[in-house]
Every structure is written in C-alpha cells, then in structure tokens.
Structure 1
Amino acid sequence: MTGIQTSAPAAAAPLQDWLIYLETIHSKNIDMGLERVSEVGAKAGVLEPAQLVITVSGTNGKGSTVCYLETILRAAGYTTGVYTSPHITEYRERVRINAQELTDAEHVEAFTAIEVARKQTSLTYFEFGTLAALWLINKARPDVAILEVGLGGRLDAVNCVDADVAVVTSIGIDHIAFLGNDREQIGREKAGIGRAGKPLICGEKKPTGSIEESAERIGAKLWQVGRDFHANEQGTSWSYRSQHTQLNDLPLPKLPLINASTAIAAIEQLPLPVTLSAIREGIARATLPGRMQSYFYRECEVLLDVAHNPQAAAYANQYVRKFYPEHKIFAVVGMLSDKDHAGVAKALISQVTNWYLGSLSEPRGETAEQLGVSAKLPKESYEVFESVELAFTEALRAAQQWQTNNGKALVFGFGSFYTVARINAHLKGA
C-alpha cells in the first residue's frame, strides 16, 4: 500500500488515474464497517438508488444469482441497475444499466461526485467504488437495483443500502480473517443484510442455524430453500415450487440450478408481475464471464471458472464430470495465498491427474512452488511455472498431444478471478 494521496485526479482525467487514486486514499485494503460509507452515501444522496433494491450475499453463487435476477427482470420488461465485484478484465464490468456497461467518462463522473461528497472521510477502494456504483444506478433510476455484496454481509459497504429483498446464497469457509472461522459465524455475517419486515431468501441447502437466528433477531421474513421453495430437476428440464407458485418445464440453466431457484424466490417477493415466459427466457439467457466459460481454442476445449474455495471446487468437479465425462483434464491453477489450497485440490483430485501451477504476481498471489506444497499434491502430478500464462501454454500443448495419441482432452483453468482474467487475456492475444 502506497502512502495516502491527498489530491484527486481532475474531473476529466482518465479512468485509470482515478482507479490508482482509489488505492491510495485509505490505509487498509479492507476495513469492515458501515459508519464511513453510510455517512458519505447519505451526503451523496445514493442510499436509495432505485424503487426496489435486492442485495445478494453468500460465499459462492452470488454472481450467478445476480445474473438470473437481471436476465429474468429484463425479459419481463423492467429496467435494472446491477453492481457486482470484482471485475475480471476491466473495471467497467462492475456496473450495468439495463444489461449494458457504462463508459469511462460516466465512471469518472461518479468518482468525481463521491470525491466531493466524502471531503476528508477516508474510504477504501471497495467503499469508494460501491458508492460510485450506487451514484450511477441512482442517476439511471431503474425499476430494480441488484447489488452483489462483497466479501462480507453485515459490515460490508453494500449493506449501507436497505434492501427490499435480501438473498443469502451459500455459506462456505472463506475470508476467515474478517468473517469468522466456521460456517456459523460466517452465516451470521452474511445474513446481516436482512431487514426488519422484509424477505430474506436463503438458497443454502444446508443452512447454518445462525441464518435463522439472524433473521429472527433482525425481524426479517426468512424463505428457505427445501422448506419454502423447491427445485426439482427432471431430465432435460426442471420445476420450481413454492406455497403460491408452480413453474414447470423450465430450461436447464448454464449456471447452477439452485441459484436460479433462489432468484425466482426473490422475484416472487417483489411487487412486480413476472410471466412464466420471462422466467424461461431469463434462465436460458443467463451466462457469466468466468463461470463455467467454455472456448474451443486451437482445436482443444478450454473451460474457465473462478472457483477458489472447496465448495466452488466441488461444484466444478460435478460440472466437469457431467459435461466432460470422457475427457482427460489438464488443470491450470493460480491462487491467492489466503485460500484453502488443499481443500480445493481435494475437491478436484478425483478428476484431475495433471496439474499446471502458475504463480500470481497480484497482491496476496501465491507462488506456484508454494501452491504445490500447500495443496498437498503428489510431486509427480504437477509442474510449476512463473506465470499462469506459461502454465496454460504448457497445459494446452500437453492436451493437444493427448488428443492426437489418445482421446478427448480439456484444459480447465481455475483458482482465482486473476487466473481467469489472465487466461482470458492470453486467449484474446492481449
């Protein structure tokens, strides 16, 4: 972290100058708490960014749930403002108005407005960016704002906004330095986005007791998957059922089905009519960069996913087993140092025998050598490389050779948003 910078870029400065500035104005990368961000948000007039607000927290599944909400509501004819993080390739991915990214100039306008509002109040990069996103959404005044919570819940910057419907997707062990070291503590933090008298949708199949306890303490109306709403897969389709709704012959989604049902449950709580055809169309259209993103590159199949914890890796294992049952898997992995390397490897070891580990130079990035040790991989099963790009290049070469002499192959890159971003850029020739 560089020293605190006191002078902001000019209002017409490039977006990149502002992003660099945002990294310098607070002494910590992460500083949990709502006092500062709420104060500045109130001054900027951004704490009620839309007529209706949905916030989405959880360990895994937030991005896909947000995506389902956006595509279904858009198919139903409603205007939307969406905020997600982190981005994969460029910052502008974080905000979408009616499914469209905004220009650099619009983001700079928002940063300038928040800079004026904050005066001497110190904000982290994420807090500043969150308020700028709310400013952009507030300017557009959509029917629904859909806000993805960052790493936390109760004390996350996004929670400065009161949600009409709050969603908790899944609870896994991640960010233990900030959220607690077991699922009960983490569940309590994630459920802290609920509001008194408002729906709190839980899409966790095996919820922690702390989620229900938090809902009761807050006074939120808990809707629990498996109790209040249900999803049943039936061959080439699936159905959704709740106390008031029965939806049949829904298309199987490209993203996790459980999160589609969670999104439908949230939409049920909105005072907005949504047709069955809009739900079907929205589910079919829902895709996300970096989430089971597939390519055919140089005559080889490539799959990318941002999975970086054991729960996400377990889903990835099921996905690969289902859709690539005859393929030999060549895994390209880069991870941050504070992740559960051994847990991720254990979840995929049954599918992967060849590991290509790349060092990440980003903050908290792990070296390939240390990753191999901490993941507890057999020494003969992995190779180490100075970068994810070099690891990908070698994995691709090996996969192509396997296809020539043996059978089908898949290059599967995962482990971090940074890993996916680097491979995506490499594929595009950046």
Structure 2
Amino acid sequence: MQNLNTLDDWLAHCERLHPKNIDMGLERVRAVAQRMGLAFDCPVITVAGTNGKGSTCAMLEAILGQAGYRTAVYTSPHLVHFEERCRIRGEMVNAADLIACFARVEAARTQNGQDISLTYFEFTTLAILSLMAQSGLDVAILEVGLGGRLDAVNIIDADCAVITSIDLDHMEFLGPDRESIGREKAGILRTGKPAIVSDPVPPQSVLDRAADIGADLWRFGHDFNFSGDKLQWGWAGRGRRYAGLAYPALRGANQLINASGVLAALTALRDRLPVTAQAVRNGLGMVELPGRFQIIPGQPTLVLDVAHNPHSVAALAANLDAMGFYPCTHAVFGAMADKDLAPMLTRMGPLVDKWYFTDLPTPRAATGADLKGRWQVAQTRAEVTAGTFADPRQALQAAIEAADPADRIVVFGSFYTVGGILKDGVPRLSAQHLAS
C-alpha cells in the first residue's frame, strides 16, 4: 500500500481488486459504506436513464448553484480526466482530495483483515461519495452509472429521483426490452419521495414501481409539460409556471425534455430547496457539458457528441438535420463492440459523406476495421468513402485535411472517441489550409 501515492496509482489498484469490471449487486459496496459510516445530511437527487442523465445533472447543478446553494455532482464516465467525475460548488475536485478518500475506502474495505472485494466503479464511487459527504453541501446530485436498482449510487436514498429517457442499452445486464430496463431504472425510487419521469412514453414497469412503493409520481405530459416557439419556451407543473424562458445553453431539441424534468424536480423540492425564476433563467443560460452536441467554433463546423446507442444517435441525427445544409459531412466514429451498431450506422448513413472509423484504447472497443466492415454491409450510397485509423486524433486530423471550410465534421460514439479529441485540445484548421 505504501506505493499508492498518486491518483493514477489508486485507479490502477482499483482495476486489480475484482475479477469482473461490472458485478451487479449492492451487498459488498453497502457493507464497505457502513464500515465508513457514509451518510449525507443534505437532500440527494439521483438521476437514472439511458440518455439525458448528464445533461439533467448539469442543469440541476447550474440552477441550484445560481440559487446560491453549495452543490456537488457525481457523474460518470469521464471524458479526459478522472477528476471530472465530481464537481463541488461548480469546480472539478483535485486529485489530492480524492487520494485521501481512496485511502479511507481501502481502510474500510480491509478492516480487521476481513477484505471485501470491490469493482473499479464501486471503489471509486465510494471514494467520491465520501468526499461529497464531508464537503458541507446543501444538495448532492448523483448520476447512476448503469441501471439503477443495483448501481452503487443506489446505496444512498434519494430525496428526489429523476428518470430520463429509457431505451435499449446494456441489455446483457439490464434485460432485453424497455420494460425490463425500466424496472431496473425504477430501483432508485423511494416511498413517499418525488419520482420525476421525464421520458414522454415511459415503460409501464416504471409507473408500476412508483405505484407499488407509494412514490410521488411526476410524469411528463401529465404532471408537467413545456410549450414554446422558436424564440422562447415555458414550463408548467404542479403549482408553478415559468414563462418566456430562453432555450438552454445545451444544444439539441431533446434538451427541453431534460430541462422539463429538471424544473419538475426543483418544483417537487421547493420546500427544502427554493429557487427563484432568475436562478432558473441564469442556470439554464450558463450550463455547460462537454461532448453533448458540442459545437466547436471555427471552420469547418465541428460537432462533438457522445451518442453511443441507437436512441442517442437518433437524437444526434435529428439535431444535425436541424443545422441546415453542408456540402459534405465527415464523421469520425468509434464505439464499443457490444453496442447495437447496425441501427446507429443506418440512422447516420444518409447524413454522412465520408466516414473515419477509429480504434479506441480499450479491449471492449470495436476496431476501426470491424466498424467499417459493419458499415459496408448496409451501405447503399456508392459515392460515400470510408477509412480506418489507429486513434480518434488521427481520424479527426484526416477529416480536417479532407474538409473544405464550408463542410461539417461530426465526432461521435464512445466517451473514448470524444475524449480522445478533447484530451490534448481540439485541433483546428491551419490558416494556410483555410486560405486554400
């Protein structure tokens, strides 16, 4: 243990502890949490869902921060640096603070020689929750990593649960259909506590679970809704309305659904965490979240999006459609091999003129060559080209060299794909290239 001096040392230690990367269940992580005396003395908002979790957490954090509350948010995975997974009062945590909490988890895990094996996610979750719990917070925002019922964050009882859009992903762990997946997500609901369901067409299993345990169900289209035009939008829910709101700073039509769930959660918690209309306006106007339909200034237009399942790729395609005409769209794509790749490639097919398939630095990833092979099976447009690359950076550089200033480049897929672009700063076209 004396060699665990840096955050990287601790993360490598976490990767060696358990035979599985994912081992669903709360018994082990709860036992270590009890040894640590882990508890929160502030309201906790837990967010689950297939897509929209990160955006929902970011908007909650931004609005509550603008209202003057001491916030902390835990999200995963990270794009570039592990420390991105936790922000306290709007600032990314530093490695030194995390290291102390990793040591605390290890001491509890090995207490009295009775070792408890934890996965990487379970160990790191406990360390981050420990840091949050000792930070003098007014509110904690927790994003579920996978599913909900058996996810490590679910050892903490939510004072308000938010379930965003539900679709098919991680089916080997969560079940073969939306009803099964919804049942897992609904595991974060608690008796008598607000249950915000922002999916417009939720699985019946979610509604049944809320009824079975007596949760206070807030359902999109029933208990809250939004309306709007091209210039502004409004929200109405139980006992509260907001009118004349500017669109959230996060781009994409789906963000209004996420924002509606956020406002429902804040309305449900207004007795404990009152927020003003101005805090709502400021928070929505200032919220930032890298890698979610993120448009990088410059030419050609560059879009970064961590869309990595059919539902999120469909949202990305709709958002790209709404951007208007571009002479040529170049797409850099890398993804995990266990994803449902065919519908993702099919949905993006009509929009993309040149593909750049990339390897990723993890054994779970499909190779660029494999992605290209899967794309070729369904390819019907003879004029479309494709190449393979060793990493996202090389793929993007090739796209930049091939693109005209009026073109569009889209980087999408795994967090590794977008993170591989962001980690060293986004490369831009040279003045010489632009001049040509």
TM-score category (smaller protein) = over 0.9
> Structure 2 counterpart of 1:356, which letter?
Y
Could you report, residue by residue, the CA deviation over 1:327-375 in whole angstroms, capped at 9, with x for unpaired residues?
5311100111011111111222232222111112313011111112234
User: For the Cα contact (< 8 Å) 1:50–1:145, is it kept in 2?
Assistant: no
Map of 1:115 onto structure 2: 106
User: Closer, same or farther in 2 for the Cα pair 1:54/1:384, shift >3 Å?
Assistant: same
Contact 1:9 1:18 in 2 (8 A): no
From 201, 209, 226, give the equivalent of 1:206.
201
**CA distance, structure 2, for counterparts of residue 194 and residue 384 of structure 1:** 44
For 2:256, the equivalent position in structure 1 comes to: 257
8 Å Cα contact 2:236-2:242 kept in structure 1:
yes
Q: 1:210 to 1:22 in 2, by over 3 A?
A: same
Aligned to 1:396: 400
Give SS of 1:140's match: coil
The yes-or-no answer on 1:182 pairing with 2:177 is yes
SS of 1:350's partner is: helix
Q: Runs of 4+ in structure 1 displaced over 4 angstroms? A: none
Once the two structures are superposed, what CA deviation does each residue of 1:162-193 show, in whole Å capped at 9, x if it has no partner?
00000100101000110001111001101110
Moved more, 90-99 or 264-273: 264-273
* Contact 1:50 1:137 survives alignment (8 Å): no
Q: Which amino acid aligns with 2:8?
A: Q
- CA distance in 1 between counterparts of 2:52 and 2:24 reads 22
CA distance, structure 1, for counterparts of residue 3 and residue 108 of structure 2: 15
Task: Indicate how the Cα distance of structure 1 residues 9 and 286 shifts in structure 2: closer, same or farther if over 3 A, else same.
Answer: farther
> Are 2:132 and 1:137 aligned?
yes
- Contact 2:3 / 2:9 at 8 angstroms: preserved in 1? no
Q: What SS is found at the alignment partner of 1:373?
A: helix
User: Aligned ranges for residues 234-273 of structure 1 at < 5 Å?
Assistant: 234-255=229-250, 256-270=255-269, 271-273=272-274
Q: TM-score w.r.t. structure 2 length?
A: 0.92
Q: Is the 8 A contact 2:73 2:140 kept in 1?
A: yes
Aligned counterparts of 2:242 and 2:350: Cα–Cα separation in 1: 36
2:175 counterpart of 1:172: no
Letter in 2 for 1:20: A
Q: C-alpha distance in 1, partners of 2:402/2:344?
A: 23
Displacement after TM superposition at 1:50 (Å): 3.9
Alpha-carbon shift at residue 10 of structure 1 (Å): 4.8
2-structure distance, mates of 1:114, 1:123: 10
Q: List runs of 5+ in structure 2 lacking aligned partners.
A: 428-436
1:148/1:327 CA distance change after superposition, 3 Å: farther
| Kept in 2: contact 1:54–1:147 (CA 8 A) | yes
- Spell out, residue by residue over 1:124-176, the C-alpha distance to the aligned partner (whole angstroms, 9 max, x if none): 00001111111010110201000000011000001000000001001010001
Aligned counterpart, 1:312: 312
* Deviation at residue 232 of structure 1 after TM alignment: 1.3
What is the deviation of 1:427? 3.7
State the SS of the aligned residue for 2:201. Answer: coil
- The secondary structure found in structure 2 opposite 1:82 is strand
Which of 209, 220, 224 is residue 219 of structure 2 equivalent to?
Answer: 224
Asked if residue 301 in structure 1 is aligned to residue 301 in structure 2, the reply is yes
Tell me the residue number matched to 2:353. Answer: 353
Q: CA offsets per residue over residues 374-413 of structure 1, 9 Å max, x none? A: 344428532222322222111111213xx4xxxx211100
**Paired position in structure 1 for 2:430:** none
Equivalent in the alignment of 1:409: 407
Deviation at 1:426, TM superposition (A): 4.8
Distance 1:28 1:413 in 2: 30
Q: Could you tell me which residue of structure 2 aligns to residue 328 of structure 1? A: 328
Q: Aligned partners of 2:338 and 2:193: how far apart in 1?
A: 35
- Quote the Cα distance in structure 1 between the aligned partners of 2:407 and 2:326: 8
Partner of 1:148: 143
Does 2:33 correspond to 1:41? yes
State the one-letter code of the partner of 1:416. S
> In 2, Cα distance between the equivalents of 1:94 and 1:16?
15
Per the alignment, residue 378 of structure 1 pairs with 379
Which digits, 9 at most, give the CA deviation of each residue in 1:13-54, with x for residues without a partner?
0111001001001111000001111111111122x3241000
Question: Residue 75 and residue 288 in structure 1: after superposition, are their counterparts in 2 closer, same or farther (change >3 A)?
Answer: same
The whole-number CA distance in structure 2 between the counterparts of 1:347 and 1:150 is 26
User: Helix, strand or coil for the counterpart of 1:136?
Assistant: helix
RMSD over aligned Cα atoms: 1.5
CA drift at 1:246: 1.0
8 Å contact 1:57–1:152 — kept in the other structure?
A: yes
Letter in 1 for 2:417: T
Q: Deviations over 1:42-73 (max 9, x none)?
A: 11122x32410000000000000000000000
Q: Which amino acid aligns with 2:388?
A: V
SS at match of 2:302: strand
Counting aligned pairs with the same residue, the percent is 44
1:388, 1:419 within 8 Å by CA — same for their partners in 2? yes
Aligned residue in 2 for 1:366? 366
Match of 1:5 in 2: none
